[in-house]
A = this chain, B = another copy of it.
Amino acid sequence: MDDRELVKMIGGIIGTDTVEDDCAKIPFGDDYIILSTDMLHETTDFPTGMTDWQIGWMSAAVTISDIASDGAVPLGLLLAAGLDRPERLKGIMQGAKACCDEYGASLIGGDVDAHSELTIVTTGIGRVEKENYTGRKGALPGDLVCIVGDPGYAQAALDGDARYRDYLLIPKPFVYEGRELSKAGVSSMMDVSDGLALSLYDLADLNGVGFEIDSGKLPKTLPQDYVLYGGGDFGLLFTCEESILRSLEVGATVIGRVISDAGVFVDGKTVERRGYVHKWD
């Protein structure tokens, strides 16, 4: 069983709509309040050798990225830490605060607890005008498929390429870009933290469409396997009409087009449905 099957089951309890996005949204006057929570553990999420400061930064960045992918402005972050050693908290909080400061959010509270394995749960709150909100639903056949950021570097670093360590250890969520894309009216958006291929499948399935990706348009500084299947990057994947792309003031790469047939294809060949998932044996 993996986490995607579990999320489906949860949809049966709390509503299918509720589990379609990494963020929850609550109507609040002319705005939506956007909320997202992420659980990270030492053994599965924090590469060996990370400092506590980097762990704090990454924990904040994961959640801020989710909020950014809805086009929202991050307002605040809560951090709950299950600590194996209490002295780690200082570095973790300093790292999380640095990330919050960088993206205009406040570190507004949390909880602490003793735990055999370091476990951090960050919950973020953001705000977006209703007319500027972008969810995962909305991609239409004929739309362009685009990315912001270069997927694969975090995975390359995890596999030992020291040139890309900062992509892995101090990831930068695309907050400004997510907001601009959303205001420009892109049709659907999500971050690619579980890997580009898996994100493409998630978005395709949810929208009842498919994606035809052109390998010639994928970034070429890394082997294609990293670009498609590497996890841990916070790039944004979005779809939009061609006219919208021309008006964008954000650096984005067109990688393909939305098609009406189900599936994800690169140069006409089906892409493997794999990436970053949590599994239970």
Contacts and interface: CB of A to CB of B under 8 A. Distances in A.
A10 B93 contact: yes
Interface in A1-47: 1, 3, 6-7, 9-10, 13-14, 18-19, 21-24, 26, 28-29, 33, 35-41, 44
B35 A76 contact: yes
Interface string A53-93: 00000000000000000000001101111110110011001
A218 interface: no
A65 to B, nearest CB: 13
A113 B44 contact: yes
B123 A37 contact: yes
B94 A13 contact: yes
Contacts of A94: 13
B119 A14 contact: no
Nearest to A20: B109
A218 B33 CA distance: 42
A75 B26 CA distance: 9
B26 A82 contact: no
A173 B89 CA distance: 30
A119 B280 contact: no
Contacts of A114: 44, 278-280
Q: Which secondary structure dominates chain A's binding surface?
A: strand
A82 B112 contact: no
B35 A123 contact: yes
Nearest to A29: B29
A49 B71 CA distance: 44
A111 interface: yes
A9 B109 contact: no
Which of A13, A40, A85, A113: most chain B Cβ within 10 A? Answer: A113
Contact of A107 (B14, B40, B81): B14
Nearest to A82: B39
A56 to B, nearest CB: 10
13 contacts: A1-B86, A9-B89, A9-B90, A14-B97, A14-B109, A18-B107, A35-B108, A35-B123, A37-B121, A39-B111, A39-B121, A44-B113, A86-B280
Nearest 3 CB-CB pairings of A with B: A24-B108, A121-B121, A24-B109
Given A40-B113, A78-B123, 16 more contacts: A9-B90, A13-B93, A13-B107, A24-B108, A26-B108, A29-B29, A35-B123, A36-B78, A36-B109, A37-B111, A38-B80, A39-B111, A39-B113, A39-B121, A115-B119, A116-B116
